[in-house]
């Protein structure tokens, strides 16, 4: 049956071709079909729909304002700053509350271990390693996420994101990239793996690759806790006047740095490795809709907050155990972490970081969320993760290790620009169909991060010398 059907199909194609030739050019037929359908649609619509009264078109008025040159960009910045301010000032109290709750839990756990007369190494591994790392991740990450995600989703639901894409389209085009990259970039704030996957909306393979390679420059929610804690501790310190505002501004400028680097790298890529002209697309600005507040809250808590938190917890628990083991095995009187950090130290110093920080970033490959807990644990050396009293205890520890505002700044910059996390790398491999672009993505980002930190550090030193 297969063979005879195939023959008939060829005859059929031939017959179709003959008939087509008799009718005129191919495009003419396509045109006639499309035009007929449009005309019928028009006829039906005019019979069925009628305008009763024409009120003022608010959508258009608002759109003209939001996408205008004068108001569009400042408003975007204002919204970004506003969301961050709400997140930082709102997350403070619940973070401390959660921390003290976990502290109480730890006491109970300790009592339990004592009662069972558990060996000391088991207590260290389970409570001081795994549990503390977990507790830190949850109490630092949960509150900002629970505030940031719903706010972001509300903007999404309102219909603001397509307007952002509209505003940014022009810049992306000038960089030789696709305007839809603005949307994949926005997804990156949630999760870079999702942003990389979202690049499917870009049809041209060249522009899609650019979007995939640069997506990681947008700090995902796994990195926001790091940015926020660094900013709060070192650049807008707690007691300071306008501390929250300065911290918000710092985080906002880190986001802008990420976006700026996205543009720059897109431009460089489209003029070197991925040469080509950018293709155009039609962007539909959907009408503004009243957000379904309750559904937004439920969805963003269930789908995003808990999902991301669960992922962090899954990774943080084994990572906490691993770091504890590394920090408690001594070779020649020095534990493994100190050995490793020693090798990395010279490179770290050049960039205004140190070996421990670089090691924490490397150990944080599975998930960016655990970079800070890992760092704290390795600083404490033979000990375990510090007690979770407050953020200021963390500041003391870091200051004791020779940190300055410059170190914190470099950690933030490195975090924004460095290699994608394991999940994102695997997604890149899956989406680009091989290791080649995955490795390029890792090298490109890490190279950019090292370069940026190096330049910042050297600049500050030169300026510092001049003073």
Partner 1 sequence: MKHNYYPPGIRGIDADYVAALAGNPNTGKSTVFNALTGLNQHTGNWPGKTVAQARGYYRHRGKTAIIVDLPGTYSLSANSLEEEVARDFICFAQPDVTVVMADATCLERNLNLVLQILEITPKVVVCLNLMDEAERKGLKLDVDQLAHELGVPVVPTAAHTGRGIAQLKDKIHSVAVGEILPRPKTVTYGTELEEAIRQLETSLQRIYTNGISRRWIALRLLEGDHSVIEAIRQYNLAEGKQEG
**Chain residues in the site for partner 1 (CB under 8 A):** 1-3, 5-6, 8-9, 11-13, 15-17, 19-20, 22-23, 26, 29-30, 32-33, 36-38, 40-42, 44-55, 200, 203, 284, 286-287, 289, 292, 431
Q: 331: which strand partners?
A: 334
CB of 178 to partner 1, least distance (A): 14
Residue listed under structure tokens 């301010």: 85
CB of residue 46 vs partner 1: minimum separation in angstroms? 8
Nearest-approach distance from CB 152 to partner 1, in angstroms: 18
Q: Which tokens belong to 104?
A: 């109480």
Q: Is the CB of 38 or the CB of 116 nearer to partner 1? A: 38
Are 190 and 220 within 8 A, CB to CB?
yes
Residue appearing with tokens 């260290």? 124
Q: At CA 448, angle to CA 447 and CA 453, rounded to 5?
A: 100
For partner 1, which is the closer residue by CB, 161 or 336?
A: 161
Q: Residue 319: exposed, middle, or buried by beta-carbon count in 10 A (0-12, 13-18, 19+)?
A: buried
- CA separation, residue 337 to residues 32, 121, 122, 371, 437 (Å): 72, 18, 20, 14, 31
Name residue 330's beta-bridge partners: 335
Read off φ and ψ for residue 330, nearest 5 degrees.
-100, 135
Q: Which residue, 60 or 401, is less far from partner 1 as judged by CB?
A: 60
- The residue among 23 and 97 lying less far from partner 1, judged by its C-beta, is 23
Nearer to partner 1, 28 or 64 (CB): 28
In which region does residue 404 sit, left (phi positive, over 0), alpha (psi from -120 to 50) or beta (all else)?
A: beta
CA dist list (Å): 96 to 90, 100, 250, 399 = 11, 6, 22, 21
- How many angstroms separate the CA atoms of 128 and 126, rounded? 6
- We find the least distance from the C-beta atom of residue 2 to partner 1, in angstroms, to be 3
Cβ contact 298:151 at 8 Å: no
Of 29 and 443, nearer to partner 1 (C-beta) is 29
Of 277 and 298, which has the nearer Cβ to partner 1? 298
Taking the least distance from each CB to partner 1, the nearer of 401 and 430 is: 430
| Closer Cβ to partner 1, 204 or 253, answer by number | 204
Q: How far is the CB of 5 from partner 1 (least distance, A)?
A: 4
121: left (phi over 0), alpha (psi -120 to 50) or beta: alpha
The torsion region of residue 71 among left (phi > 0), alpha (psi -120 to 50) and beta comes to: alpha
Phi/psi of residue 165, nearest 5 degrees: -60, -40
Taking the C-alpha atoms of residue 95 and residue 241, their distance in angstroms, rounded to an integer, is 21
Give the span between the Cα atoms of 239 and 422, in whole angstroms.
37
Query: Nearer to partner 1 by C-beta: 50 or 108?
Result: 50
Least distance between partner 1 and beta carbon 50 (Å): 5
Write down the least CB distance from residue 449 to partner 1, Å.
29
Q: How far is the CB of 305 from partner 1 (least distance, A)?
A: 17
* b/e code 429-454 from CB counts within 10 Å (16+ = b): bebbeeeebbebbbebbbebbbebbe
Residue 413 CB, shortest distance to partner 1, in Å, is 33
Which CB sits closer to partner 1, 120 or 284? 284
Compute the distance between CA of residue 278 and CA of residue 212 in angstroms, rounded to an integer: 15
* Shortest distance (Å) from residue 110 CB to partner 1: 40
Q: How far is the CB of 445 from partner 1 (least distance, A)?
A: 23
């Amino acid at each position: 049956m297969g063979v005879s059907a195939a023959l008939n199909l060829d005859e059929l194609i031939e017959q179709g071709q003959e008939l087509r030739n008799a009718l005129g050019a191919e495009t003419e037929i396509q045109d006639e079909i499309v035009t007929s359908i449009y005309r019928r649609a028009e006829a039906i619509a005019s019979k069925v729909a009628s305008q009763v009264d024409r009120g003022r078109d608010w959508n258009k008025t608002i759109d003209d304002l939001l996408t205008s040159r004068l108001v569009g960009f400042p408003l975007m910045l204002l919204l970004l700053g506003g969301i961050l301010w709400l997140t930082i000032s709102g997350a403070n109290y619940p973070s401390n509350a959660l921390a003290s709750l976990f502290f109480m839990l730890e006491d109970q756990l300790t009592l339990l271990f004592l009662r069972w007369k558990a060996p000391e190494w088991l207590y260290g591994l389970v409570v001081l390693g795994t549990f503390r790392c977990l507790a830190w991740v949850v109490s630092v990450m949960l509150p900002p996420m629970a505030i940031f995600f719903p706010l972001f989703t509300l903007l999404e639901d309102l219909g603001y994101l397509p307007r952002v894409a509209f505003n940014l389209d022009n810049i992306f085009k000038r960089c030789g990239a696709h305007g839809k990259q603005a949307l994949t970039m926005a997804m990156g704030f949630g999760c870079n793996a999702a942003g990389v996957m979202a690049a499917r909306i870009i049809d041209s393979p060249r522009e899609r690759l650019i979007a995939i390679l640069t997506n990681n420059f947008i700090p995902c929610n796994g990195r926001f806790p790091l940015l926020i804690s660094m900013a709060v501790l070192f650049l807008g310190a707690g007691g300071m006047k306008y501390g929250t505002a300065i911290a918000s501004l710092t985080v906002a400028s880190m986001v802008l740095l990420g976006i700026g680097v996205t543009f720059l790298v897109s431009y460089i890529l489209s003029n070197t490795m991925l040469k080509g002209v950018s293709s155009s697309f039609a962007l539909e600005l959907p009408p503004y809709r009243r957000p379904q507040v309750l559904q937004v809250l439920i969805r963003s808590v269930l789908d995003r907050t808990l999902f991301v938190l669960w992922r962090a917890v899954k990774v943080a628990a084994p990572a906490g155990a691993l770091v504890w083991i590394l920090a408690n095995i001594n070779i020649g009187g020095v534990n493994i972490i100190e050995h490793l950090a020693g090798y990395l130290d010279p490179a770290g110093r050049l960039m205004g970081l140190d070996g421990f920080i670089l090691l924490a970033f490397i150990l944080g490959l599975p998930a960016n969320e655990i970079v800070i807990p890992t760092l704290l644990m390795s600083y404490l050396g033979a000990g375990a993760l510090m007690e979770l009293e407050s953020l200021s205890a963390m500041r003391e520890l870091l200051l004791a290790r020779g940190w300055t505002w410059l170190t914190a700044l470099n950690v933030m910059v490195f975090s924004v620009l460095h290699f994608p996390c394991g999940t994102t790398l695997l997604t890149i491999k899956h989406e680009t169909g091989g290791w080649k672009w995955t490795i390029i993505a890792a090298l490109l980002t890490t190279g950019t991060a090292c370069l940026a930190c190096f330049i910042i550090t050297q600049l500050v030193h030169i300026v510092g010398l001049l003073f």
